[in-house]
Structures are given as C-alpha cells and as structure tokens.
Amino acid sequence: MNSDFDTLFPTINTICASGKLRSKASDFMVIEHHDMSFTEQGEHLWFKIEKIHSNTAWVATQLASACKVPARQVGFAGLKDRHAITQQWFSVQLPKIVEIDTIKAKLPDEISILAHHWHQSKIKTGQLKHNEFKIVVREVEGDHTATEKNIARVNSNGVPNYFGPQRFGHDLNNIQQAKDWFSGKIRVNNKKLRGLLISTARSHIFNLIIAHRIQNKLWGKVISGDILQLDQSHSWFPARDATAEELTERLAAFDIHPTAALWGDDTVQSTEKCAIIETTVANTFPEYHKGFNNHRVKQDRRAMRILPTQFSHSWKGNDLHLNFQLQPGSYATSVLREIIQTS
C-alpha cells in the first residue's frame, strides 16, 4: 500500500498482518455485473470483455480501431484496474465491422470477447449493478486471529468509503498537480486531465473529512447537521428529519449512511457540527476553492461508509482468499486495508 496514503487516511481497524498482493494477474480479479435486458436490436453493439494487465481507456481505443469507429463512439461504465484480470462491458455505436470473428482477430492478446449483444443505447458511466472482486493475498505474515477479527468487523461495521490511492496518482502526485493548476502555476489543456484533477481535489477533501471523523471517533455515527444517504441511492435527507431512535435503527441496518461533502463553489448542504468540520477541512486548501469557483464545480455528497456484500474468505496455507461485491464507485482497496496490509 501507499505509505503516504495510509498516513493521511487512517483505518478504523488495527492491522496486525501483511501479505503480497498481485503476485500474478489472477490474484486480483474484477467482474462487472449488470441487470441489463438486451433488445438484440439497435445501433450499439455491446461486448463483454476480459482484459489482462490493460487499462480501460486502452481497451476502448483498441475496440474503436477493430470496429473502425472514432473513440467517442465507444462507451463503458467505469474504469477498471490495470494490474488485474477484469471483465467489463463496452458498447460500440454503429460499428463499421460487425463480424465478431473479424473483430476478435484485430484485438491484442490481452483482450478477449466473452459475449456480445445488440442494444438501442450506449452504455453510460456508472451503469452497472455492482462489481465482484476475487482477491488473493499471498504469504501472509502476522496474526491470523486478528485478521479474522478484522474480517468480522468489516462484515458487521462496513468500511470507510475512501477514494482509493489510484484516484491520487503515483505517490499522490495528482494532489500537487491539482493545486498547481488551480493556482495558475501550470497550464492543463487536456480535457480528461482537467476532469481528473478536479476529481482529485474533491476526493482529497472528502477523504480528509472521513479521516477527521475517524480520528475524533465520529465515523459511523450521526452528528448534528449530518446529511444522510439512503443505501445504494443518491437520495439524501437531513438527520434532523428523523428521530434519534429511527436514525439508530436505520444506521445499524445499513439502510442509511452519513455522508461527507464532495466540495464545490456553492454552500455546503450540511449544517451545525457537520458543516463546521467539513468547512474547516476544506478551508485548509484555498487553491482548491479558486479552482472550484473558476470551473463552476457544485457541491455534492457521498456516503462515508460502504458495506461489502456476499463476503466470503478462506485460507489456503498462508494465502488469504477474499470474495466480495461492492456497489459502483467504491474501492476494493478500502476493504482490503481494513483487513490486512498489502505490498
């Protein structure tokens, strides 16, 4: 794991063991799941792709080339890890080549087509039900009993819904780059990089809000002024709209989650103690505020915790096997780091 990341963003569990992650590609597998009903009609050809040691954007360009269309006509639901075996869906609008065997022959060995269907619409960002993870941590050293207890805590308490290290780049370099761009020290002309750096700044503040609440024993609790999110929804409501008894019951059932701010240039939605915490954290980065204002970034919210589902684990000697599912936008690294340290 990234030591700088671990220092900035603490875990809620005590980690007493370590092991090796990604010793080989098959040790980290991600499978994207949809509940799509394909029409087998329309102008969009959807592909279920398995990729090995390849990033999502590169696969999209390879598909565009094989189907002889511009890259903008290729869609996908989300970026998947490069250092893994991943299965995800792509859509290609009006492919010039539709013979599957011909397309397969044009793709590099790292890309395999597992299924294909015609549909009337393009796949959209975030358009998936959940991601399934199959992970092996090898040569575990340390306290196996404590690791088992951490697994039990993850199952009962969930984990902080941090944005993962990949959001911040190698050695968290995206953070400094975002600050330099917002403050006018550098120019950034690439549209995708601009979007990434804006996301980096917002994610940085969000993670630090979670870190503050963990350090002050306020994570997983409702405080005055909190905004609560319905599970697996983008719907929110102020904590003051429910009784203390109702909040306690629904929080324990994982029906609702406290949220933290994804910062913007308008007024934060939280109030009272929650707003004070969030504003205090955000105000430590004046260069971010300038950037949010210049680029008209609006306030949003994100749940501060996530509960992995369909969780199972097993030991094979000193190798720890973990299987679980996460809703879109959450990071497997946030689950792993609450169980075991990996390198």
The catalytic residues are 81
Q: Give the SS3 label for residue 280.
A: helix
Looking at the chain, the number of H-run helices and the number of E-run strands are: 10, 16
| Closest-CA residue to 308 (of 147, 150, 143) | 150
Alpha helices in 27-168 (DSSP H): 56-67, 100-106, 144-157
As to burial, measured by CB atoms within 10 angstroms (0-12 exposed, 13-18 middle, 19+ buried), residue 52 is middle
> How many Å is the Cα radius of gyration of the chain?
21
312: left (phi over 0), alpha (psi -120 to 50) or beta: beta
Token pair for 172: 């968290």
Alpha helices in the chain (DSSP H): 3-8, 56-67, 100-106, 144-157, 173-182, 191-215, 244-252, 272-282, 286-294, 332-336
| Closest-CA residue to 282 (of 84, 161, 274) | 274
Rounded distance between C-alpha atoms, residue 321 and residue 337, angstroms: 14
CB atoms under 10 Å from CB of 140, counted, come to 20
